[in-house]
Amino acid sequence: SYNDICGNFSAEYGGGISHYGYSPNGEIHHNRIYFNQSYDEGGGIMIAGELPVDPGILSPGAGPVNIHGNLVQANLGNDDGGGLRFLMAGNFPYEVFNNMFVNNISTHEGGAISLFDAPDVRVYNNTIMKNITTATAMTSNGLPAPAGLSTVQNSALLQATLPGGAPVFSNPILFNNIFWDNRAGTWAGDFVSGIGLTGDPLPTYQWDLGVADNSGLLDPVNCLLEVA
């Protein structure tokens, strides 16, 4: 709490803060997290369950964590989650509220926030603005991906632990958020179009939030959206 976390680089996850492994009931709040970079996921903040030695066993997850009152700005994730990434975090309650996620970049999905195997996330009272995806990661197919908040289908291991009828993707509760001017780029082999770069003849392509693999639909409530 109450830190400036600036200009750090991680060789894997969590350029600014890396909450990796089970450590329940944590708080990350009232920090300024900016100009950090990760070689892989979570440029600003990473919330992740530890990968078991046996990949056929479900990760124990990260344990419940609240993330609130932070400025998460101008971070770069060289895969998913430029600002905040949940990866195999598990079926715990995660509260993300009263933050500003602005000007972050992901080279794949979720310029501001990206979720995988995190089915109980509440995202509310946040400003999520001017984040970018570039479609340049090794895991990307070069097509646009949601630039504000992105989520995908749960793993089979996690899904098997959820109640019958549960969504097959990590479906966050979304309310009272401002999404604006989040830009999803397309990689054309030598240029990223759609994000407003000089010389790009194509218009900017706004994509505020979505399920990147089309495994479901999000349901934002009382949110200001430019393009869902």
Provide φ and ψ at 156, rounded to 5°.
-60, -35
pLDDT tens digits along 105-135: 999 999 999 999 999 999 999 999 999 999 9
Q: What is the 3-state secondary structure (H, E, C) of 103-132?
A: CCEECCCCCCEEEECCCCEEEECCEEECCE
Strands 127-129 and 178-180: parallel
Q: How far apart are CA 89 and CA 121, in angstroms?
A: 10
pLDDT tens digits along 24-45: 999 999 999 999 999 999 999 9
Q: How far apart are CA 157 and CA 139, in angstroms?
A: 21
| The pLDDT of residue 227 | 66
The percent of residues in the chain predicted with pLDDT above 90, rounded, is: 97
The answer to whether residue 228 scores a pLDDT higher than 60 is no
pLDDT tens digits along 197-214: 999 999 999 999 999 999
pLDDT tens digits along 52-110: 999 899 999 999 999 999 999 999 999 999 999 999 999 999 999 999 999 999 999 99
Q: How far apart are CA 203 and CA 48, in angstroms?
A: 36
| The pLDDT of residue 26 | 95
Cβ atoms < 10 Å from Cβ of 71: 17
